[in-house]
Amino acid sequence: MAAPLLDELTRRVAALTPALADAAPEVRRAAVAAVLRPDGAGSADVLFIQRAVYPGDPWSGQVAFPGGRAEPGDPSLVHTAVRETREELGPDLHGVGTLIGTLDEIHPRTTLLPPIVVRPHVFVLHGPFDPTPSAEVAAAFWVPLAVLLDPATRGRETVEARGARFQMPAFRVGERVIWGMTERILNQLLGLPLPPW
């Protein structure tokens, strides 16, 4: 990806025609926000959350993008992503960010997780965004694009979900592991090829 990274990524995401998931009408819908914070040098940082640990939560403790399930009153999945981000972290993306595009819808690849379809929306900040994690979120943190694009960050990691352990494609950032649907969304955001399942 040529410099400046953020401009090229923005152009590519804005030009995407996202693929919609083939799912039954009764499958729950969800939306997440991939939030990019310009770094002033032509690149950006990407916002992640670490979910709080709750018994029975299939995504308990995992690294994710802010977001969640659509509610009956949500007029659109963009609204879902903005509402969930506000509930989890405080700031309102409509006031401090610009929606630049939507990525492919995805769903879990394992029956260990509930059936759900997730639509990722990509925002670039133009104002201050100071996350204040709610009780649902253990931490919020930023990762530079350059770190995520470094091949040394990608590999396979042993992860755990619902008592089962797997070897999965993942990004490792310090002590944190980004895997599952978040890893797949991140690959498309960065324009990286999907690693073998």
CATH of the domain at 36: 3.90.79.10
Give the residue, 108 or 164, on which the prediction is more confident: 108
Q: Is residue 78, in this structure, part of any structural domain at all?
A: yes
pLDDT at site 160 = 80
Q: What are phi and psi of 164, to 5 degrees?
A: -105, 150
Average pLDDT over residues 102-110: 89
User: How far apart are the C-alpha atoms of 172 and 154, rounded to whole Å?
Assistant: 6
pLDDT band with cut points at 50, 70 and 90 for residue 196: low
Cβ–Cβ < 8 Å for 102, 119: yes
Average pLDDT over residues 140-162: 93
Q: What is the mean pLDDT of the chain?
A: 91
Cβ–Cβ < 8 Å for 143, 46: yes
Cβ–Cβ < 8 Å for 133, 86: no
Q: Is residue 58, in this structure, part of any structural domain at all?
A: yes
Q: What are phi and psi of 121, to 5 degrees?
A: -115, 140
Domain that includes residue 112, residue range: 5-15+30-144
Q: Is residue 175, in this structure, part of any structural domain at all?
A: no
Q: Which helix (H) or strand (E) holds 9?
A: helix 5-15
Q: Which of 56-60, 119-123, 192-196 has the lowest mean pLDDT?
A: 192-196
Cβ–Cβ < 8 Å for 79, 101: no
